[in-house]
Amino acid sequence: MIIIKKYPNRRLYDTTQSRYVNLEYIKALINDSKEFQVVDSKTGDDITKSLLLQIISESETNDNQSLLTNSLLKQLIRYYDTDMQYFVRDYLEQSLVTLMEQQDKMQGMMKTMAASSPFSLFSKMMEQNMDMWSQHSDSKDNKK
């Protein structure tokens, strides 16, 4: 697991690579599904969640990139301190896992469809013909 230390000056330090990093680096770790933990350099407290919330907050300021509408945020806030809080958390987490799995399946199906389309087959035939033509030309050049 990658340990990131956050210093009082708000700088982030990747202890595995011995270098300072930024939020873009953390986002890349997330996108690459790498496990990491952010700890306060003085106390050693796990502050990963607050850093993740900071990334979300900064992403949400751009309306084109926003996932969370005002209505959705209000609904989420209503569930805090209720009996349903843990159910909603588990439901949302499992829903996102399922969505990601479905997305992966759909991308796999699209790749399969694209690979077997008439255009793709024609393109492969053209590549093979070009390779044979190139090899034929090379063999003629070598004979000279």
Q: What is the CA radius of gyration of the chain?
A: 25
Range of the domain at 36: 1-67
Burial grade of 26 (CB within 10 A; 0-12, 13-18, 19 or more) = buried
Asked whether residue 106 is assigned to any structural domain, the reply reads: no
Report how many domains make up the chain. Answer: 1
Asked whether residue 26 is assigned to any structural domain, the reply reads: yes
Asked whether residue 42 is assigned to any structural domain, the reply reads: yes
Asked whether residue 25 is assigned to any structural domain, the reply reads: yes
pLDDT bucket at 117, cuts 50 / 70 / 90? low
Tell me: pLDDT of 110 over 90. Answer: no
More confident residue, 33 or 125: 33
Asked whether residue 79 is assigned to any structural domain, the reply reads: no
Tokens 């790498």 belong to 34
Asked whether residue 27 is assigned to any structural domain, the reply reads: yes
Asked whether residue 16 is assigned to any structural domain, the reply reads: yes
Tell me: pLDDT of 109 over 70. Answer: yes
Asked whether residue 111 is assigned to any structural domain, the reply reads: no
Which residues pair with residue 12 across a beta bridge? 6, 21
Own/partner long-range contacts of 16-24 (Cβ < 8 Å, ≥24 apart): 23/51, 23/54, 23/55, 23/58
Cα distances from 25 to residues 28, 29, 46, 52, 63, in angstroms, run 5, 6, 18, 12, 22
Give me the mean pLDDT over the 97-121 stretch: 79
Tell me: pLDDT of 44 over 60. Answer: yes
pLDDT digits (tens, 9 = 90+) for 55-74: 999 888 877 778 888 899 99
Pairing state between β 19-21 and 36-40: unpaired
**What's the pLDDT score for residue 138?**
67
